């Protein structure tokens, strides 16, 4: 089945130690998103790629970076994790939203739960 | 700016009860509207969608109708089950490709 896969499901890192979360997709969607979700809250968009075009949300901290080496893979790098970065990180994909008309739904992975020691 | 206002939770119902979770939106133009469901420890799954006024999305016994006149997209189910316990998000995807999430509604169903 075509899907969005996030690895690992659970990640523990130390305060200040860089960490990378990964996402892969077999849907061949050209848009990929990274969200941060804290307990009992809605997902918060960090950034997204439209093909290779990177779009950062205005309030995403500089501590968060992303790479998309090809259509199938996308990585989230947290350069110096703080205690406040402990959260669930969700990757999602969608087809080209187009310039108008109906928007395509997003397909989410199961997330990576990040803990900071 | 665009926004989505969703019914506050948690909502607790008995099995076989009727469910309504309210959702209203503000947007420039006519966004596409979605309901997503999130089970504990998992990502979000698309539950249903509607892309224009008067469209009705339906899936797994859930329904929602895109009401332009009231700018609403309320989620309904005639008879809920314990397995429907989850968090439900109403989402607007509109102009300028802006995706707006509601705050989420936690639903608990008692056997």
Per-residue model confidence (pLDDT) at position B9: 85
Per-residue model confidence (pLDDT) at position A99: 58
Per-residue model confidence as pLDDT tens digits over A22-58? 999 999 999 999 999 998 899 999 999 999 999 999 8
Residue-by-residue DSSP string for chain B: --EEEE--S-EEEETT--EEE-EEEE-SS--EEEEEEE-TTS-EEEEEEE-STT-EEEETTEEEE-BTTTTB--EEESS--GGG-EEEEEEEE-GGG-EEE---EEEEEE-
Of chain A, the percentage scoring pLDDT greater than 70 comes to: 93
- Inspect the interface and report whether the beta carbons of A42 and B89 lie closer than 8 Å: yes
Across A96-102, average pLDDT = 64
Shortest Cα distance from B90 to chain A (angstroms)? 10
- Can you tell me whether residue A85 is helix, strand or coil? helix
Per-residue model confidence as pLDDT tens digits over B52-108? 999 999 999 999 999 999 999 999 999 999 999 999 999 999 876 788 999 999 999
Joined together, the tokens standing for residue B101 give 């999430």
Q: Considering only CB atoms, which chain B residues are within 8 Å of A41? A: 103-104
Q: Give the residue from A30, A105, A107, A115 with the most B CB atoms within 10 Å of its CB, the best one to mutate.
A: A105
Does residue A97 register a pLDDT over 80? no
- Inspect the interface and report whether the beta carbons of B97 and A41 lie closer than 8 Å: no
Shortest Cα distance from A32 to chain B (angstroms)? 13
Per-residue model confidence as pLDDT tens digits over A74-96? 999 999 999 999 999 999 999 87
Per-residue model confidence (pLDDT) at position B1: 80
């Amino acid at each position: 089945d075509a899907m969005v896969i996030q690895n690992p499901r659970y990640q523990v890192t130390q305060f200040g130690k860089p960490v990378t979360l990964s996402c892969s997709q077999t849907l061949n969607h050209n848009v990929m998103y990274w969200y941060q979700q804290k307990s009992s809250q809605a997902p918060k968009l960090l950034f997204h790629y439209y093909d290779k075009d990177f779009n950062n949300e205005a309030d995403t901290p500089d501590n968060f970076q992303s790479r998309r080496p090809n259509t199938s893979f996308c990585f989230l790098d947290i350069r110096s994790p703080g205690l406040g970065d402990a959260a669930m990180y969700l990757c999602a994909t969608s087809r080209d939203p187009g310039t108008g008309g109906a928007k395509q739904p997003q397909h989410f992975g199961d997330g990576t739960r990040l803990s900071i020691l | 700016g665009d926004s989505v206002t969703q019914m506050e939770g948690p909502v607790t119902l008995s099995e076989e009860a009727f469910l309504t979770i309210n959702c209203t939106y503000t947007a420039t133009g006519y966004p596409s509207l979605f309901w997503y469901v999130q089970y504990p420890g998992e990502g979000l799954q698309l539950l249903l969608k509607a892309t224009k006024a008067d469209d009705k999305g339906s899936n797994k016994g859930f329904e929602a109708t895109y009401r332009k006149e009231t700018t609403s997209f309320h989620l309904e189910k005639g008879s809920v089950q314990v397995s429907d316990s989850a968090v439900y998000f109403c989402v607007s995807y509109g102009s300028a490709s802006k995706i707006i999430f509601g705050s989420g509604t936690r639903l608990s169903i008692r056997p």
